[in-house]
Structure formats: C-alpha cells, structure tokens
C-alpha cells in the first residue's frame, strides 16, 4: 500500500530528477505506472534520465528543462505538464544544491543556494498546488528537507538556512491544506540521511560504507508514504533512528534549557552530549 495519489495513470512531477534521489523517485513512480515529468537543468543528463525512466513502465515521460529558482520557469513547467499530461497528482520538490558555504561567503553563493533549495520548493508548491487542489482528487506534495535543517550543524550555514526554511514551510503548507474544505492534497517532509549522490560525492567515485544508495532511500520513502508519517526521517548505514531522535531532541533542548546555540559542538557541552547520547 502507498499513498492514494500514487496510482497508475496519474501524473507526477519530480524536480531535480536528472540524477540521484530525484531520478530514483521518478523511476519508481514510472514503474508503478504514473505519467512522469522530470524537471531539472537543461542538458544531456536530463535527456538521459528521461530515457532511463521511459524504460521503467510509465505510459508517458516528459523532460522539461527547469531552473527551479526562476518562478517563470516553474509557471511554464506547470502549464506544459498540465497541457501534455493532465492535472498533477504528485509533486516531488526535490531539486537542491550543496556547494558549501561559510558565514562570510559572497552574497551570490548564499543567494543561489537559498533560491534553489528553499524558494524552489516554496514557489514550486505555490505554483502547482492550486491546480492539484482544484482537481479534487487525492494529491501529494513531497518536499525534500535535510537533517541539517533541523540540527543545523556548523560548517555549511547557507544550506542549513535553506533546509530549515523547507521544514517550516512544509509544516505550514500541510496545516493549510488540511484546513481547506474538501481538499484531498497533503504534504510530507522527506528527510534523507547520508545518501551517495552527485550532491554528496565530493569527488568520491565509490559509495562510502555508511551511505545509503538513492534506491534505498526511495524504498524508505515509499514505505513511509503508505503510512501517515509527515516527518519521513530516514536512517542510513551510520545513524539509526534512535540517534537521530536524540540529536534532534538535544538541539531543541538548547532553547528549552538555555544552553549556547549548537551546544553539541561547544567545548563546554560536547562531553555532556556524548554521555547523554549513550544513555
């Protein structure tokens, strides 16, 4: 069993679909028999991904070059998908980037990361969700967040800010949807762990032992979609569910207990965190 919007003949849009998790999700949806639109930056990778997805069983596959940071491109995407495939039933806002950042990075780097990772998801939802609601049937919006948007570890602040925004937006989106009379569209927050993709490879050609593959994390996502989980918190080969839960609880405890921010990495609190984690 999976979500009622994921049915043969329905229409799915997946952004960031040319590789990694997005391609794995698009392929899975095609295998179920959905008509799938792959949206990503223009180029050979997008065309190759579309060809791969066609072999998975979809009745129709559409590749639409799209920069999710451009609202006009998202509007054009929605118009083309609706015209060529029909009303959208499933939207997976997955496009993202992680080039690295620091607090005092040049503004352009921060701007691009937030435009793609956060505004791409916000605008994608704002532009496509109204048509999904108006269609009247079951609908599903999956937004790809990150554990870094919840525990916000030091080292990549622009990425953390963007993914914290995705978490807050998706929570608000789900609240809004469930309060619209007759609305059968809902949102879920997808929170992968360490997955070996072009985004995370960092020059490596072989998957680290602790990383999951895009196929593994897609399996976990689709299992969760058959339940009522809003927060789809994925483990990986290094971090289990219990560890994730304790890390998240400790991060929230910084506020509740008035500790310094990011106390998990603070020299006066690091040992206390490790001891608490092991209890």
- Active-site residue set: 159, 163
CA 32 – CA 45 distance, rounded (Å): 23
Neighbours of 243 (CB within 10 A): 12
3 state SS of 2: coil
Q: Decide: 133 and 139 in contact? Cβ < 8 Å.
A: yes
Strand 185-191 to strand 11-15: parallel, antiparallel, or no bridges (unpaired)? Answer: unpaired
Q: CA torsion sign, 5 to 183 to 87 to 48?
A: negative
CA 163 – CA 150 distance, rounded (Å): 8
Classify residue 86 by its DSSP letter.
-
CA 165 – CA 85 distance, rounded (Å): 31
CA 173 – CA 186 distance, rounded (Å): 8
CA 138 – CA 118 distance, rounded (Å): 25
Q: Decide: 46 and 40 in contact? Cβ < 8 Å.
A: yes
Residue whose C-alpha is closest to residue 236's, from 204, 188, 192: 192
Half-sphere exposure of 229 (CA within 13 A, CB side): 17
Task: Kindly state the tokens that stand for 156.
Answer: 């990549």
Residue whose C-alpha is closest to residue 41's, from 18, 59, 13: 18
């Amino acid at each position: 069993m999976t979500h009622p919007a994921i049915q043969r003949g329905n229409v799915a849009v997946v952004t960031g679909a040319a590789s990694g998790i997005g391609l794995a999700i698009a392929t899975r949806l095609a295998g179920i028999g959905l008509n799938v639109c792959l949206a990503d930056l223009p180029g050979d990778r997008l065309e190759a991904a579309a060809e791969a997805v066609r072999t998975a069983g979809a009745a129709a596959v559409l590749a639409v070059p799209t920069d999710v940071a451009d609202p006009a491109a998202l509007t054009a995407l929605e118009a083309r998908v609706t015209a060529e495939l029909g009303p959208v039933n499933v939207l997976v806002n997955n496009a993202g980037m992680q080039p690295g950042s620091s607090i005092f990075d040049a503004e352009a780097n921060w701007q691009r990361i937030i435009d793609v990772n956060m505004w791409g998801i916000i605008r994608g939802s704002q532009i496509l969700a109204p048509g999904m609601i108006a269609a009247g049937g079951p609908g599903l919006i999956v937004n790809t967040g990150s554990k870094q948007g919840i525990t916000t570890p030091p080292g990549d602040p622009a990425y953390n800010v963007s993914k914290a925004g995705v978490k807050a937006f998706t929570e608000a989106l789900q609240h809004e949807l469930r309060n619209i009379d007759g609305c059968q569209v809902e949102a879920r927050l997808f929170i992968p762990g360490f997955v070996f993709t072009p985004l995370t490879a960092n020059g490596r050609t072989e998957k680290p032992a602790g990383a999951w593959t895009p196929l593994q994390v897609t399996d976990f996502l689709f299992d969760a979609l058959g339940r009522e989980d809003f927060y789809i918190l994925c483990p990986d080969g290094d971090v289990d569910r219990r560890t994730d839960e304790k890390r998240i609880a400790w991060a929230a405890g910084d506020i509740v207990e008035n500790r310094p921010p990011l106390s998990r990495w603070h020299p006066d609190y690091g040992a206390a965190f490790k001891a608490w984690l092991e209890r």
